[in-house]
Amino acid sequence: MKSSTSGNTFTPTGTSLTLRRMGFGTMQLPGPHVWGAPRDKDAALQVLRDVIALGANHIDTAEFYGPGVANQLIREALSPYPDDLTIVTKVGFVRGEDKSWKPDLTPDGLTRAVHENLTSLGVETLDVVNLRTGNPEGPDDSSILAPLQTLVELQRQGLIRHIGLSNVTPAQFAQAQSIAKIVCVQNQYNLVKRDDDDFIDALAEQGVAYVPFFPLGGFSPLQSSLLSQVADEIGATPKQVALAWLLQRSPNILVIAGTSSPAHLRENFAAEQLVLSDSQLAKLNSMSAQVE
């Protein structure tokens, strides 16, 4: 089975998933530093309900967001879940009591993380589990076969439907393909962080979804005179233009911009309707890899 794309949706090769390309990431729903209860729980729950009302069917989360907070909010807001909703979670990190992010790719750690996600989301099988590797600065070049084998075994047990990877290199992706069917890759990518340009194109040829994290720059929000100029030309915000650029960059890109604000959520989803001209794309593509 080949992958398919129809404007606003994408189906990874070999799956029955029909994913709306504009999805939602839950990292901003917990409190500051992705830790503890949200500043406004009612608003967080409303954002999740609005995600579905806006037609999205793809939510990205992790048990270590909070920890436990994002998944519990998803369950409270959306369970029983819509039949077409795909919840993508990730394993490979845990949180220290000092709010640090610590890798845990041990078999026991990964197995425990999968079961924690099952419990907090209230499901019997996880739709997609991304193996998060590397470090906060980016991917490393270590082998991922051993931790991936743990997820393959959990998939064999029926606890995971599909497997993805996060924070990986093309070489690690190729390595993973030797033992597993990989349906998506989640790496850092945006207008000024384009290390994965060739990787995205190669994944598109194979029908693998590419999900940029920090699509708006993350802890260093995107700022550029060119971005502002294009935004003024089309009557949109710079953030909307940055998201529209991603959607036009490649048909296999799924956007998971996150927010804890219902108004900001609607602004993000409005970017789906923007169409950037060839000259506007050329301007944006000429942006340097340095945030201004």
Q: Does residue 224 sit within a domain?
A: yes
- Give mean pLDDT, residues 130-149: 94
What's residue 52's pLDDT? 98
CA distances from 76 to 37, 46, 210, 251 (A): 14, 11, 28, 32
**What value does the mean pLDDT take over residues 72-76?**
98
Average pLDDT on 79-97 reads 97
Distance CA 179, CA 152 (A): 8
What percent of the chain has a predicted confidence (pLDDT) above 90? 88
In a domain, 290, yes or no: no
Is 55 a domain residue?
yes
Q: Per the domain annotation, does 68 fall within a domain?
A: yes
- Tell me, yes or no, whether 292 lies in a domain: no
User: How is 34-85 classified by DSSP, letter by letter?
Assistant: GBSS-S-HHHHHHHHHHHHHTT--EEE--TTTBTTHHHHHHHHHHPSPPTT-
**Average per-residue pLDDT in the chain?**
93
CATH number at residue 262: 3.20.20.100
Structural domain total, the chain: 1
Whether the per-residue pLDDT at 185 is higher than 90: the answer is yes
Residue 236 and residue 211 in contact, taking contact as beta carbons nearer than 8 Å: no
Residue 64 domain flag: yes
Strands 160-166 and 101-103: unpaired
Domain, as residue range, for 130: 4-285
Domain membership of residue 291 (yes or no) is no
Average of per-residue pLDDT across 94-114: 96
pLDDT at 180 > cutoff 90 = yes
Residues with catalytic roles: 65
Using the structure block, give the residue that is written with the tokens 């971005």.
Answer: 227
